Amino acid sequence: MDSGLLQHALCLFFLLCRLFQASAEDDWNIATATLSRDKDGSSSVNTGGACGYGDLRQSSYGGYSAGLSGKLFNRGSSCGACLEVRCVNHIRWCLQGSPSVVVTATDFCPPNSGLSSDYGGWCNFPKEHLELSHAAFTGIAETRAEIIPVQYRRVKCGRRGGLRFSLNGSSHFFQVLISNVGLDGEVVGVKVKGHTTAWIPMARNWGQNWHSSLDLIGQSLSFEVTLRGGKTIASYDVAPPYWRFGMTYQGKQFHS
């Protein structure tokens, strides 16, 4: 090959590589993060939270979880989302090599109007802030750090098993908590169907709890779930006619 053409080809190759690297970096967003603790020193996001998942130590989300500031929490619609997080631009607190962890959004980090957004009021609107569980925080930064600069991006959720439907309510109020959701993890629409009914839309109650004023006792239950990314999956006859409140049943799972 002519030396001029070879040089031109090499320049084009390196230009494409740099463009590809830049486009990959564009997925990252800037935020801050702190280690969330209860008074006894344990991570508060390990014991439930505003998404309704209950004790995370007993769930599929494990120890890698996060509470989100109001802007990121988006009134509960971000519950179940998976975020890749890494500590950046702090030589003292970030671990060497800037490793990343993947966390599930499981809680709300409330604002503190009595403190400045730059000192203590980390979750005041419109700050983008994450309260990380102990396992997540120590995977990217030194535990002694009070607050760290981070980058985050949404990633696909890797889940084992199917969607989980936890039933609660009464004869006049039916509620289902949806968890262990794959792909983007963010449920934006739910329908329920008894064996004698059509598909009935449900409304978000709080977090990932969805409700309807129905009496479905004695009917087998099917659920249709829609994600933020637009994908929908229907799980038929998830719960048998003899289902009970307080029980959890498993349905189909989203796959890429």
Q: Is residue 23 part of a domain?
A: no
127 and 224 fall within a common domain: no
| Statement: residue 60 has pLDDT above 70 | no
Q: Is residue 211 part of a domain?
A: yes
Q: Is residue 168 part of a domain?
A: yes
Q: How far apart (Å, rounded) are the C-alpha atoms in residues 73 and 55?
A: 19
Q: Is residue 192 part of a domain?
A: yes
Among 121, 137, 154, the domain boundary falls at 154
Tallying the residues shown for the chain, one arrives at: 256
Confidence band (pLDDT; 50, 70, 90) for 116? confident
**Residue 94: which residues within 8 A CB-CB, separation 6 or more?**
87, 88, 140, 141, 148
Among 154, 188, 222, the domain boundary falls at 154
- We report the CATH number of the domain holding residue 105 as 2.40.40.10
CB 178 within 8 A of CB 208: yes
What single DSSP character describes residue 183? Answer: B
Pairing of strands 209-212, 187-194: unpaired
Residue carrying structure tokens 């975020």? 83
| Statement: residue 39 has pLDDT above 70 | no
Among 128, 154, 180, the domain boundary falls at 154
136 and 181 fall within a common domain: no
Number of domains in the chain: 2
What domain range includes position 145?
Answer: 29-154
pLDDT digits (tens, 9 = 90+) for 6-28: 444 443 444 344 334 433 444 99
Amino acid at 227: L
CB 85 within 8 A of CB 96: no
| Statement: residue 146 has pLDDT above 60 | yes
Token pair of 7 as six digits: 């040089």
Phi and psi of 134, rounded to 5°? -60, -45
pLDDT digits (tens, 9 = 90+) for 151-163: 999 999 989 999 9
CB 81 within 8 A of CB 105: yes
Q: Is residue 175 part of a domain?
A: yes
User: Which DSSP helix (H) or strand (E) runs through 114?
Assistant: none
167 and 114 fall within a common domain: no
- Cα–Cα distances (Å) from 25 to 33, 152, 183, in that order, read 19, 11, 21
- We report the CATH number of the domain holding residue 216 as 2.60.40.760
CB 161 within 8 A of CB 180: yes
186 and 146 fall within a common domain: no
